């Protein structure tokens, strides 16, 4: 059983690991060769930077907490632990990285059985390290953060992600966005779900929704939103958002109305 003191120490060490790997990613971007990009699937891109970043993270996390297993995007280590697991996206926003668009991040969460107990998201270009542990509040670069106090959708800015495969659902996305465009301050698409969630946590946006995400895309960001006073659910308002591939995050005040709009189209 991890004590609060031990978890706090792990959180500090994980922040440093995320920053170190972020520095590697930032350096590689300066002379990145697009010809080295690989395709895992249609529009599902990966580079040697993703793979090396994940290798470094797994090695460093194994040293500080060898009892934990791993859930990783690039499959560097797929050995799951019985009680604790690190959930890692070494480069969330790979397409942005490849194209030189400066929104991408390192995302690391720690799960105890089915519950996320700690999360770190390091936005590489802005040098912003968002982090939280269960019951400890949320922070960005050591400054406490809170969700916004916008009372309703009409005062809200919403972020989302666009489908890049599985286009059978594209009409639901477009109809959702059409409705939200008319009910909010507008929509944004940053290209990194981990960053999207941290922007909700820090009050820069009021809500975020996306379909077809993986656990490593959302685990760290989700606990940061929750510890910042926000709410995170699946599209049905339930708790299956880590592995259920549907996530809605908000400042809590708009959550029920936000879900109502989405469920006009998602059911």
Q: Across 104-188, where does the E strand assignment appear?
A: 105-112, 115-123, 128-133, 138-140, 143-144, 157-160, 186-188
Domains of the chain (ranges; CATH) run 4-144 (3.30.540.10), 153-266 (3.40.190.80)
Which is more confident, 137 or 29?
A: 137
- Convert the pLDDT of each residue in 39-79 to its tens digit: 655 545 567 888 999 999 999 999 999 999 999 988 888 88
CB within 8 Å of 10: residues ≥ 6 apart:
2, 64, 65, 110, 118
- Convert the pLDDT of each residue in 48-58 to its tens digit: 888 999 999 99
CB 137 within 8 A of CB 223: no
| CA pair distance 108, 227, nearest whole angstrom | 16
Rounded to 5°, angle at Cα 97 from 93 and 103: 60
Look up residue 218 and give its two tokens: 């959302």
CA-to-CA separations, 46 to 49, 69, 241, in angstroms, rounded? 8, 23, 24
pLDDT of residue 40: 59
Q: Over 80: is that where the pLDDT of 166 sits? A: no
pTM of this structure: 0.95
Q: Over 80: is that where the pLDDT of 237 sits? A: yes
């Amino acid at each position: 059983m991890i004590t609060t003191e031990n978890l706090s120490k792990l959180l500090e060490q994980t922040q440093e690991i995320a920053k170190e790997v972020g520095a590697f990613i930032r350096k590689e971007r300066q002379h990145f060769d697009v010809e080295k990009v690989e395709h895992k699937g249609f529009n599902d891109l990966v580079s040697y930077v993703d793979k090396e970043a994940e290798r470094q993270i797994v090695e460093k996390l194994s040293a500080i907490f060898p009892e934990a297993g791993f859930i990783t995007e690039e499959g560097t280590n797929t050995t799951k632990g019985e009680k604790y697991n690190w959930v890692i996206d070494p480069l969330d926003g790979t397409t942005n990285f490849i194209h030189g668009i400066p929104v991408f991040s390192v995302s690391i969460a720690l799960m105890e059985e089915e519950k996320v107990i700690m999360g770190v998201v390091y936005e590489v270009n802005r040098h912003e390290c968002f982090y939280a542990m269960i019951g400890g509040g949320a922070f960005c670069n050591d400054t406490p953060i809170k969700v916004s106090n916008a009372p309703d959708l009409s005062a809200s800015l919403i972020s989302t992600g666009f489908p890049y495969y599985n286009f059978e659902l594209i009409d639901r996305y477009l109809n959702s966005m059409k409705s939200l465009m008319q009910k909010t301050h507008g929509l944004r698409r940053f290209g990194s779900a981990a960053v999207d969630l941290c922007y909700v946590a820090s009050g820069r946006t009021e809500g975020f929704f996306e379909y077809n995400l993986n656990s490593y895309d959302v685990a760290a960001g989700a606990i940061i939103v929750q510890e910042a006073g926000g709410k995170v659910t699946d599209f049905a308002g339930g708790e299956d958002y880590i592995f259920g591939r549907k996530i809605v995050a908000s400042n809590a005040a708009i959550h029920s109305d936000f879900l109502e709009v989405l469920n006009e189209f998602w059911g």
